[in-house]
Structure 1
Amino acid sequence: MAEKMLKFIKVERSMPTKRSATDRKDDFDEIYAEFSKDKAKEQATRCSQCGVPFCQQGCPLSNNIPDWLKLAAEDRLEEAYQVSSATNNMPEICGRICPQDRLCEGICTIEQSGHGTVTIGSIEKYITDNAWEQGWVTPIKPPRERAQSAGIIGAGPAGLAAAEQLRRKGYQVVVYDAYDRGGGLLVYGIPGFKLEKDVVERRIKRLEDSGIAFKFNTRVGETVSLATLREEHDTVLIATGVYQAKDLKCPGSGNEGVFPALEYLTASNRKNFGDAVPAYDDGTLNADGKRVVVIGGGDTAMDCVRTAIRQGAKSVTCLYRRDRANMPGSQREVANAEEEGVTFEWLASPEAILDTKAGKLKAVRASRMKLGEPDASGRQSPVRTGETFDLKADMVIKALGFDPEDLPELFGEETLTVNRWGAVRVDYATMETSLPGVYAAGDIVRGASLVVWAIKDGRDAADAMHKAMKAQERASKVAAE
């Protein structure tokens, strides 16, 4: 075993320096500083180099985490980057926004032994940020160009991962996206304090420099039809994500001052880009001076509460129907929110959104809950106790998750099959939909999920599309002979 490793007994776990809540709550800059080179090396030496690496098993991408930790500890940073990027198209993004406490770090062997997990995400971020600084991240140069092309619908993480993998094989790739920028939720859904936007923009530019074409402001089903894309490309990937907000099922949910989370976050992110955002400027989607109530307990809810703090809200309260231990969001994000001044009302569910006679929002009436028997997900079901209370509110944000759009109707393709939740059905062995030559990946298949799962799905779909186009190429050669 390398002498440089197995130092978890002597070296304490350490995270990069975190800016104080007072310092960070007035801006949208990332809250963690960069690891220094020496600190990243030191923390990497804590890895126990397990024979069966649970951290790798806990990663949806099966990243070779022990290998690149060892390389980082030995100051072989370019090799560490090569290993890290071999299985992950966006390691520095995953290092920033993955809920490592629920994935790789959560099942780290030394974490289970009581010594504190290796800070995998922060080291992953350091390795790739350093690679960008050193010029090691370069445009893709395929070994040969292929005449066949792939059309990708959606420039979010699944679409971008698939585009990169296919371009590596030499295919001509065109990415279509309804937004005016690439990145999907990476740019418009996730706030800058978790993921600064230049980190995403440099990824998009690298793909453009690699020969991938992007057609923005292109909504398939309106600007161009799916049938047209199928004619123009040898294969097509649907990677649209899910953007339709789950509705709040209580009286008053449609009242003035009640907004879906993504509408609110997109306005904030656009403002930080310097875009014209009339609904922000006129105060509609701006939390400044308001009493804000966010309903939900996932990572999107945490993004909303922390954004409202930065916009200067008078108060910010998160309302969640289960307790802290049973919330779906990252515990690290909850801790960050609490530090910044967010109040959490656990075991509380909205009963009604109340307004004045003039129609102005005034409060959320909530029911106290208790936890009952486990539901299908294994978590205890929330049950009303009969007690209610009112939370004063000038703005309510619904962060209850997302549903897919009705793609068969939008695309004009009735034979595109979906499941009962509206997600696109695929053959999981090939990621192919009910339409021949049309594949799907990411949230539009699995439902709203993590970026790292979208990247995995995009890579898997790209592999299947490559096999299909190779088979097409062979068949064409045989026919020509």
Structure 2
Amino acid sequence: MAKQPMLKFVNIERDMPQKREAGERREDFNEIYAEYADAKAKEQSSRCSQCGVPYCQQHCPLHNNIPDWLRLTAEGRLQEAYELSQATNTFPEICGRICPQDRLCEGNCVIEGSGHGTVTIGSVEKYITDTAWDQGWVLPISPSVERAETVGIIGAGPGGLAAADVLRRAGIQVTVYDRYDRAGGLLTYGIPGFKLEKDVVVRRNDQLAQGGVKFELNTDVGTDVSFADLRAKHDAIIIATGVYKSRDLQAEGSEAGGVLRAIDFLTASNRKSFGDAVPEFDSGALNAEGKKVVVIGGGDTAMDCVRTSIRQGATSVKCLYRRDRANMPGSQREVQNAEEEGVVFEWLSAPKGFVVEGDAVSGVMVQKMRLGAPDATGRQAPEVIDGADYVEDADIVIMALGFEPEALPTLWNEPELPVSRWGTILTEYTSGATQMDGVYAVGDIVRGASLVVWAIKDGRDCAEAILEKMNANAVIAAE
């Protein structure tokens, strides 16, 4: 009888990949976690309980076959584990790095609930696909049949690229349009290298290009090409623009120099990592070196900003969040990493305005908060504590308050494009289809600011819906 390779969680403790010391990782933008060795990946995978109702799989937006590829990894069948992982996820090595596993798969692991510590799902997922790339198991896209139908995708972020992958594998002619000079969207210019090194994104972009996906970069729809022209050119259009409009804080002094948008700050830093010329960074306007930095917000973007500031050489970095640690929306793992690196969190603190000297910010007027009665979402609403205001010194203040959709019907001169009162595009839930014939939408432009893994799911589901419709039309035409 073969030895049981699983259910080892009673005897084997949870063990994450080695994390570089905080003092070392503050000095560069390299990823902070080392790779698992093969034996360690097998060991940690063997902790899976193979439960009959896998909550990890149910709570993954992509419903990845997590217990199955954990078992295959534990048994040393790594190529099969990769193929199973890739079957439901276009970019498993990216999700393994940046998904908030503590809120999704790992946060719902059954053995975690029994006090044994969750299986390190994200780290194993990353290891499987990184090994697949190293071993040459990641094959080029090579459709068995080329088809005449064409799809134009507006936006080269994770949703658009996931859709492009599915469509291209089916032989559809795909063109991706993006306003930036590199594909990847926030994967390229929003997320810092210490969470997602850029060669990981570049090799996926290269795979798509080598497989026949055409990229029209530096192309701004509504300016360089009209939406109407794209509809006329393609059999279907997928809108995957994401949401890039930063939420503003209307407060005294908010227009002062040194009050920055998070997306501008992160994009400048990532461009420097590519070796680009970034005048705003070189001048110091978008560079935290030698400065007191205050970041306002409690999501993952705020975590990216505080940890980037540390690496740029800020003299101090503080994060203001109006609720407490337990109620912040960002990953608790990221908060811990930030604290290790020297970030100070000021919980229950909200900006009231800004102190301005000349035309530049010199401080944040902070009002202390307490948590009162729950709001409409069930979260406790923050309330101001009278008389507890103070000033936090700052040379630059980074606003990381989230993102909103751009006004696409206006920008694209398409008043019939159906949008919600929040500006997100209205679509059919399962397919991404809009009321405009042949027009679909996926990702954040539909959901509002959300997770990369949800964008990947939307892109894959939308592509499958388009293929189903195209196949049905082909049958009708043949009759």
Task: Give yes or no for contact 1:235–1:469 (8 Å, CA) kept in 2.
Answer: no
The residue aligned with 2:427 is 426
State the secondary structure of the residue aligned to 2:15.
coil
Superimposed CA distance per residue, residues 106-162 of structure 1 (whole angstroms, 9 cap, x where no aligned partner): 010000000000000000000000000000001111221111011001110000000
Which residue does the alignment assign to 1:10? Answer: 11
What do you get for the CA RMSD once the two structures are aligned?
0.9
Deviates more, 1:456-465 or 1:112-121: 456-465
- Alignment-mate amino acid for residue 146 of structure 2: E
> Which structure 1 residue ranges, 5 or more long, are not aligned?
none
463-472 vs 218-227, which moves further:
463-472
In 2, the alpha carbon distance for the partners of 1:330 and 1:152 equals 31
Contact 1:157–1:183 under 8 Å retained in 2: yes
- Measure, in 2, the Cα distance between the counterparts of 1:244 and 1:39: 43
Contact 2:430 2:461 in 1 (8 A): no
Q: 178-187 vs 248-257, which deviates more?
A: 248-257
Q: Distance in 2 between matches of 1:253 and 1:423?
A: 26
Q: Is contact 1:432–1:440 with CA below 8 Å preserved after alignment?
A: yes
Shift of 1:376: 2.2
Which structure 2 residues correspond to residues 166-315 of structure 1 after superposition, within 5 A? 166-315=167-316
Equivalent residue for 2:150?
A: 149
SS in 1 for 2:260: strand
Residue 42 of structure 1 deviates from its aligned partner by: 0.4
Name the counterpart of 1:90: 91
With 425-434 and 104-113 compared, the bigger mean Cα shift is at 425-434
State the shift of 1:431 in Å. Answer: 1.2
Name the counterpart of 1:378. 378
Aligned to 1:467: 468
Q: Which amino acid aligns with 2:345?
A: F
Residue matched to 2:26 = 25
Partner of 1:408: 409
Query: Which residue does the alignment assign to 2:41?
Result: 40
Distance across 2 between alignment mates of 1:468 and 1:226: 22
**1:361 paired to 2:361:** yes
Summarize the Cα distance change of 1:2–1:97 in structure 2 as closer, same or farther, 3 Å threshold.
farther
The separation in 2 between residues aligned to 1:351 and 1:2, in whole angstroms, is 63
Code of the residue aligned with 1:41 in structure 2: it is K
Question: Which ranges in structure 2 are unaligned for 5 or more consecutive residues?
Answer: none
Indicate the residue corresponding to 1:336 in structure 2: 337
Q: Across the two proteins, how many residue pairs are aligned to each other? A: 477
Deviations 1:424-451 (A, max 9, x none): 0001133111211000000000000000
Partner Cα distance (1:461, 1:217) in 2:
25
Relative to 1, partners in 2 of residues 1:313 and 1:431: Cα closer, same or farther, differing over 3 Å? Answer: same
> Matched residues, percent identical?
64
CA drift of 1:2 comes to: 6.6
Equivalents in 1 of 2:119, 2:422: separation in Å?
A: 38
CA distance in 1, matches of 2:374, 2:466: 40
Quick one: distance in 2 between partners of 1:144 and 1:59?
32
- What is the alpha-carbon distance in structure 2 between the residues aligned to residue 142 and residue 251 of structure 1? 57
SS in structure 2 of the partner of residue 174 of structure 1: strand
Q: Contact conserved, 1:234 with 1:469, CA < 8 A, in 2?
A: no
Alignment of 1:434-453 (within 5 A): 434-453=435-454
Distance of 2:429 and 2:59 partners within structure 1? 20
3-state DSSP of counterpart to 1:101 = coil
Amino acid at match of 1:372: G
Displacement of 1:373: 1.3
Task: Measure, in 2, the Cα distance between the counterparts of 1:465 and 1:230.
Answer: 15
Which residue of structure 1 aligns with residue 327 of structure 2?
A: 326
Separation of aligned partners in 2, 1:242 and 1:477: 41
- The answer on whether the counterparts of 2:253 and 2:361 sit within 8 Å (CA) in structure 1 is no
Measure, in 2, the Cα distance between the counterparts of 1:405 and 1:203.
Answer: 27
The separation in 2 between residues aligned to 1:147 and 1:133, in whole angstroms, is 34
State the shift of 1:334 in Å. Answer: 0.2
Cα offsets for 1:310-334 (capped at 9, x unmatched) = 0000100000000000000000000
SS across alignment from 1:423:
coil
Q: Residues 295, 2 of structure 1: CA spacing in aligned structure 2 closer, same or farther, 3 A cutoff? A: farther
- Inter-partner Cα distance in structure 1 for 2:476 and 2:289: 62
Distance in 1, Cα, partners of 2:156 & 2:25: 30
- Could you tell me which residue of structure 1 aligns to residue 54 of structure 2? 53
Q: What TM-score does the superposition give when structure 2 sets the normalisation length?
A: 0.98
Distance 2:55 2:419 in 1: 34
Which shows bigger deviation, 66-75 or 222-231?
Answer: 222-231
Q: Comparing 460-469 with 34-43, which one deviates more in the overlay?
A: 460-469
Q: Which moved more, 1:360-369 or 1:125-134?
A: 360-369
Equivalent pair of 1:97/1:194 in contact (CA under 8 Å): yes
Give distance in 1, aligned partners of 2:19 and 2:161: 30
Which amino acid in the other structure matches residue 373 of structure 2?
A: E
SS in 2 for 1:351: strand
Bigger Cα displacement from structure 2, 29-38 vs 371-380: 371-380
Q: Which amino acid aligns with 1:237?
A: I
Counterpart position of 2:456: 455
